[in-house]
Amino acid sequence: MSAIERIYIPEGGDTTQLYGVNRCNLTLLKHLFPKVRIYAAEGVLKLLGHEEEIERVVNVLDALSEHIERYNTLEEETIRRIAAGELTTAPTPPEHHIIYGVRGKSISARGEHQQAMVRAFEEKDMLFAVGPAGTGKTYIAISLAVKALKERKVRRIILSRPAVEAGEKLGFLPGEMKDKLDPYLQPLYDALEEMIPFAKLKDYMEQDRIQIAPLAYMRGRTLSDAVIILDEAQNTSVHQMKMFLTRLGFNSKMIVTGDITQIDLPRGVPSGLMHALKVLGGIEDIAEISFTREDIVRHALVGKIVDAYERAQNNNKEQTTE
Task: Tell me the per-residue pLDDT of 112-165, one tens digit each, with 9 for 90 and over.
Answer: 999 999 999 999 999 999 998 889 999 999 999 999 998 899 999 999 988 764
In this structure, the number of other CB atoms found within 10 A of the CB of residue 311 comes to: 10
Mean pLDDT, rounded, for 226-242: 95
Same fold flag, 4-83 and 97-301: no
**Cα 5 from chain centre:** 38
End-to-end CA distance of the chain: 98
- With a cut of 90, say whether residue 26 has pLDDT above it: yes
Q: Which fold has domain 4-83?
A: Ribosomal Protein S8; Chain: A, domain 1 (3.30.1370)
- With a cut of 60, say whether residue 281 has pLDDT above it: yes
- With a cut of 70, say whether residue 257 has pLDDT above it: yes
- 243-274 burial, b at 16+ Cβ within 10 Å, e below that, comes to bbbebbeeebbbbbbbbeeebeeeeeeebbbb
pLDDT band at 174 (very low <50, low <70, confident <90, very high): very low
Q: pTM of this prediction?
A: 0.76
65 burial level (CB within 10 Å; 0-12, 13-18, 19+): buried
Q: Can you tell me the distance from the alpha carbon of 76 to that of 8, in angstroms, rounded to the nearest whole number? A: 21
What pLDDT score was predicted for residue 71?
A: 82
CATH of domain 97-301: 3.40.50.300
Alpha-helical regions (H) of the chain: 16-19, 24-32, 51-71, 76-83, 111-123, 137-150, 177-195, 198-206, 238-245, 272-279, 300-321
- With a cut of 60, say whether residue 181 has pLDDT above it: no
Packed helices 177-195 and 198-206: angle between N→C axes, nearest 10 degrees: 130
Render pLDDT for 151-169 as a digit per residue (tens, 0 to 9): 899 999 999 988 764 444 4
- With a cut of 70, say whether residue 213 has pLDDT above it: yes
CA distances from 160 to 38, 72, 119, 212, 295 (A): 43, 25, 23, 6, 24
pLDDT over 90 for what percent of the chain? 46
Strand partners, 248: 223
What pLDDT score was predicted for residue 2?
A: 73
Q: Can you tell me the distance from the alpha carbon of 253 to that of 248, in angstroms, rounded to the nearest whole number? A: 7
Render pLDDT for 71-80 as a digit per residue (tens, 0 to 9): 888 889 889 9
**Residue whose C-alpha is closest to residue 255's, from 152, 140, 175:** 140
Packed helices 238-245 and 272-279: angle between N→C axes, nearest 10 degrees: 60
189, 139 contact by CB (below 8 A) = no
Render pLDDT for 302-316 as a digit per residue (tens, 0 to 9): 767 867 887 887 787
254, 248 contact by CB (below 8 A) = yes
Where do the domains of the chain lie? 4-83, 97-301
194, 100 contact by CB (below 8 A) = no
Strand partners, 44: 41
Mean pLDDT over the full length of the chain: 85
Q: What is residue 286's DSSP assignment?
A: E
pLDDT over 70 for what percent of the chain? 88
190, 130 contact by CB (below 8 A) = no
